Amino acid sequence: VGEKNALVIHIVDIFDFEGSLISGLQRFVGNNPVILAVNKCDLLPKVTNWNKLRNWMQQRCKEEGLRTAEIVLCSAKRNQGFDRLLEAVTELRGGRDVYVVGATNVGKSTLINRLISDYSDLEQELTTSRYPGTTLDTVKIPLDDGHYIIDTPGIVYPWRYSELVERQDLDAVMPANPLKPAVYQLNEGQTLFFGGLGRFDFVQGPHQSFTCFISGTLKIHRTKLERADSLYADHRGEMLSPPGSDRMDKLPPWQRHEFRINKGSRSDLYISGLGWIKVNGTEGAVVAIHVPRGVKVLTRPSMI
């Protein structure tokens, strides 16, 4: 793309922001302008401060070395934000081709279908699917002015839960409805299980609250840290599910990641494709996340 004169739309998933952001994209796009289209914003609570969120994203992109000409918050599902996106495309395109890039399952096809209906006479629509990797080849869609929308194949990132779990468990992992943040008041030495897919340990620190932003269909179980290993061994695939016992062993073995949250920092513990846990206290804490080996886990400044 960097060698061509084009406009690039990079679509990311708000629920899996770091997991769906293409690191190193700037190297490939060169000096071409990039619109960051942040999809699935309908999942966030209605009280979200959208300006603050946009600034947060700008900062995250800057840290990744990505320059954005525009950040547009949208929801393909609810048809929100598309008017602004189309305005941005019109402002920045300047009679050039439009390349649409993104990871699998971030809503690329839905967005392109909207572009087709506004910029092209084409009757057909692209295939859209809830399952990763449905758009397989580069698709060139002719525009009315002789240029093209180029839909590139979705990039498969193995560190996302959407690439790890079986299809029947995807619905539990990927929220279809707005997130209902679950607040837990925890003492040190307590653990939360997210079905059988992940675990959060509050290892050390004063009593404080943690807010879980995960799919509402995934059950959270609280227990004592000292009992967590035996609970998992006895109930994995049953009480602690998904995945079910027949699919549990298809996931890589769990790996423990420990983090020290500094005093005064407003932090999220982010798990790619599963959601994030906001640390509400400011007194500091030592926490641990257990997830299948290879899943991306990190701390970041609080998104919300």
Per-residue model confidence as pLDDT tens digits over 42-100: 999 988 999 999 999 999 999 999 999 999 999 988 889 988 998 999 899 988 999 99
Q: What is the pLDDT of residue 131?
A: 42
| E-strand stretches of the chain | 6-13, 34-39, 70-73, 97-102, 139-142, 148-151, 182-186, 190-194, 198-204, 208-213, 220-224, 254-261, 267-271, 275-279, 285-292, 297-301
- All residue ranges of the chain with pLDDT < 70 are 2, 119-137
CATH of domain 6-157: 3.40.50.300
pLDDT digits (tens, 9 = 90+) for 13-57: 999 999 999 988 999 899 999 999 999 999 999 889 999 999 999
Instruction: Write down the domain spans for the chain.
Output: 6-157, 172-301
CA 19, CA 24: separation in Å to the nearest integer? 13
Contact in structure between 40 and 15 (CB atoms under 8 Å):
yes
Q: Phi/psi at 238 (nearest 5 deg)?
A: -120, -90
Q: Phi/psi at 241 (nearest 5 deg)?
A: -150, 165
Q: What is the pLDDT of residue 123?
A: 56
Q: Phi/psi at 233 (nearest 5 deg)?
A: -60, -40
- Global pTM value: 0.90
Q: Is 292 exposed, middle or buried (0-12, 13-18, 19+ CB in 10 A)?
A: middle
Q: What is the pLDDT of residue 128?
A: 44
